[in-house]
Amino acid sequence: MSTIKASDAAKAVVRRNSEEVQGKGRFDVFEELFADDFVDHTPQPDMTPDKAGVRKLYRDIREAFPDFHAQIHWPLADGDRVTTYKTYYGTHEGPLLGVAPTHRKIHFESVDVMRVQNGQITDHWGVGNLLSLMQQIGGWTPPAETNNASPLLKTAVT
């Protein structure tokens, strides 16, 4: 298979994960798309870095945000690795990280890299703007501004 066709096939697997698993809660598709020896190189707190850990994460997110879905702004593929920049959306209807449901609409950005081999996701690296998410559901409040800011901070911003 040519590199272009392989990259297109890898992007299709990642898109299917975003749309069907994350967006519709289709865990039968999850089992099909994720390799048994999957490794999450950037697991979320209290999640194992394996297929069971990402399955739990996806279930927790679906319980907290039953209408959870992603808008993929662009997928970029290089061989067997697919990088996506996307915005996730949902309504906070279940507990998340100790925060009771607020019924607020949320959105946050994420950049993910997934390796796809033989039609399955084998590896993940990613960064999500979870601080923004926690602010939106009231799980984190920025400290009040003070005039006693660190000299390093004052130097960095001036």
Contacts for 82 with CB less than 8 Å, ≥ 6 apart: 7, 10, 11, 13, 14, 75, 76, 113, 114, 115, 116
Rounded average pLDDT per 10-residue block, the chain, 158 residues:
78 97 97 98 94 97 97 94 98 95 98 98 97 94 71 51
DSSP secondary structure letters along 7-34: HHHHHHHHHHIIIIIIHH--HHHHHHHE
Tell me what pLDDT residue 2 has.
61
Tell me what pLDDT residue 121 has.
98
Q: Which of 92, 76, 93 is nearest to 84 (CA)?
A: 76
Strands (E), 33-150: 34-40, 69-78, 81-91, 105-117, 120-128
Tell me what pLDDT residue 53 has.
97
Helix, strand, coil % over all residues of the chain, rounded to 5: 35, 35, 30
Tell me what pLDDT residue 145 has.
76
Tell me what pLDDT residue 151 has.
56
